[in-house]
Amino acid sequence: MDLIGKVVLVTGSVRGIGLAIAKAFDAAGARVILHSRKGASPELLAEFSEGTLSIAADVADAAAVNTALEEVYEQVEQIDVLVNNAGITKDTLAVRMSTADFAEVVNTNLIGTFNVTQPVFTKMLKAKKGGAIINMASVVGLMGNAGQANYAASKAGVVGLTKSLAKEGAKRHVRVNAIAPGMITSDMTAVLSEKQTEAILSNTPLGRFGEPAEIAQTALFLVQNEYITGQTITVDGGLYI
**Does 131 reside within a domain?**
yes
**Does 241 reside within a domain?**
no
What is the distance between the alpha carbons of residues 50 and 47, in angstroms, rounded to a whole number? 9
pLDDT at 143: 97
pLDDT at 43: 98
Catalytic residue among 73, 151, 227, 240: 151
What is the distance between the alpha carbons of residues 228 and 66, in angstroms, rounded to a whole number? 28
**Does 240 reside within a domain?**
no
**Does 153 reside within a domain?**
yes
DSSP E strands in the chain: the ranges are 7-10, 31-36, 53-56, 81-84, 131-136, 174-181, 232-235
The pLDDT tens digits for 143-162 are 999 999 999 999 999 999 99
Q: Give 180's contacts (C-beta < 8 A, 6+ positions apart).
A: 137, 138, 139, 141, 142, 155, 159, 232, 233, 234, 235, 236, 240
The pLDDT tens digits for 167-178 are 999 999 999 999
Q: Could you tell me the CATH number of the domain that includes residue 89?
A: 3.40.50.720
pLDDT at 213: 98
**Does 105 reside within a domain?**
yes
**Does 138 reside within a domain?**
yes
pLDDT at 192: 80
Burial class of residue 208 (count of CB atoms within 10 Å of its CB; 0-12, 13-18, 19+): exposed
**Does 2 reside within a domain?**
no
Domain of 139 in residue numbering reads as 7-235
pLDDT at 10: 99
Cα-based distances in Å from 229 to 17, 24, 51, 86, 168: 22, 21, 29, 21, 11
What is the distance between the alpha carbons of residues 38 and 61, in angstroms, rounded to a whole number? 13
What is the distance between the alpha carbons of residues 173 and 176, in angstroms, rounded to a whole number? 9
Active site residue 151: yes
Count of domains observed in the chain? 1
**Does 1 reside within a domain?**
no
Using 70 as the pLDDT threshold, list the residues of the chain that sit under it.
1
